[in-house]
Structure 1
Amino acid sequence: MPPTTAPTGDPTRSEFDKMVAGEWYRYRHGPELAGMTTATQRACREINETYASDPDAALALFRELVGTVGDGVDFRPPVYLDYGSQLHIGDGTFINADFLALGGGEIVIGKNVLIGPSARLYTPNHSLDPQHRLEGYERVEPIVIGDNVWLGGSVVICPGVTIGAGSVIGAGAVVTKDVPAGVLAAGNPARVIRTLA
């Protein structure tokens, strides 16, 4: 559920500073944000196009774009990011095709995570207040995915969610709240189906 506190306008701070602090910001009013997302999307297009002829060069470009990338990380294009610097990926993680990480919230993906095709990780929330939405207010919340998690195909992870180590999220699940470690969760909204041995 989106935060309900009213946004406040602080003209002394940039919209980017407010965003990374997890405060309300106006995503369509900060010129630095538009520039960052445009540059990131351009870099994603280059990575996706390069992969077909030179996967190693594409991985090198991906490493330059993303905040941190561990050893042995592998991916399949296309990838789509808003702010590469906010994404952190642990050793041995595999990201399948059509991966989308949206918004400026921090996303931390642990070690040896398997991410199925068409996964969607969303960090922004818009205001519930209609006037604040018209004014362009948004607030991000981090996503944390623990070590050795498997996200099935077309999984959606909503803002502020943490998935515990060793858990499996079934294909097509929409994860709206935290998932504990060592469980199978599935459905829309996702719920724990059983504990994994």
Structure 2
Amino acid sequence: MKTEKNKTFNSELYFSADQKLVKDRERTRRLLCSYNDTHKIDYERRTAWLKEIFGSMGKSIYIESNFYCDYGYNIHVGENFYANFGCTILDAGQVTIGKNCMMGPGVYIYTNNALINPEGHITEINCTKSVTIGDNVWIGRKAIIKPGVTIGDNVVIGSETVVTADVPANVVIAGNPAKVIKRLE
């Protein structure tokens, strides 16, 4: 029998108030409190906290406080990653971020897919869609990455862009919803 946690990995409907998931979120919130309260130049301790929180991560990772996520273990980050102040990754589903990714302040990444049926909100039934971000991606301030999106390699995402659909490699995108505004050589 599938657990509620397993259902999130397969983009199946799951019960978000499941006690195991609640305990996982509580654990992550405790770890995030410690991370966000650790002095900004205590790199060793901050890296150790991130290793406790994330599913996997490369070397040379730095996230400014305050950082927020749901579970953490669904986040997989490659080498040379930086996220500026106020990054939020709602990771009920998988979030995979490649190497050399940089995020401006206030970036939001969502994996929970809103259900249209009001009954789903009342019963705490949810669905996730994974987000994948390629290598060498720059995400501008206050950009929003919606559930189910895949972003190719070598992409620049303008400030306050809302990414609602897959993005090909080697482009600059901007707007709400995001549109390709330039191809990169």
| Common fold: TM-score over 0.5 | yes
Distance 2:184 2:32 in 1: 36
Q: Tell whether 2:9 aligns with 1:20.
A: yes
Q: Tell whether 2:108 aligns with 1:98.
A: no
1:126 CA drift (Å): 2.5
Runs of 4+ in 1 over 3 A off after TM superposition: none
The one-letter amino acid of 2:14's match is Y
1:51 CA drift (Å): 3.0
In structure 2, what is the equivalent of residue 70 of structure 1? 58
In structure 1, what is the equivalent of residue 178 of structure 2? 190
CA deviation string 1:37-77 (max 9, x = no partner): 11101101100101336232111111121011101122211
Distance 1:13 1:86 in 2: 17
Considering only aligned residues, what root-mean-square deviation do their CA atoms show, in Å?
Answer: 1.3
Native 8 Å contact 1:75 1:96 kept in 2 = yes
CA deviation string 1:129-163 (max 9, x = no partner): 22233222111111011000000011100000011
CA deviation string 1:68-107 (max 9, x = no partner): 1101122211111111110001011111111111131100
Native 8 Å contact 1:15 1:25 kept in 2 = yes
Distance 1:148 1:16 in 2: 30
The one-letter amino acid of 2:137's match is V
Native 8 Å contact 2:78 2:97 kept in 1 = yes
TM-score (norm 2): 0.95
CA deviation string 1:156-195 (max 9, x = no partner): 0000001110010000001000111010100111111110
2:155 corresponds, among 167, 190, 194, to 167
The residue correspondences of 1:63-142 to structure 2 (distance < 5 A) are: 63-142=51-130
Structure 1: stretches of 5+ with no match in the other structure: 1-11
The one-letter amino acid of 1:48's match is N
Share of identical aligned residues, percent?
Answer: 36
Structure 2: stretches of 5+ with no match in the other structure: none
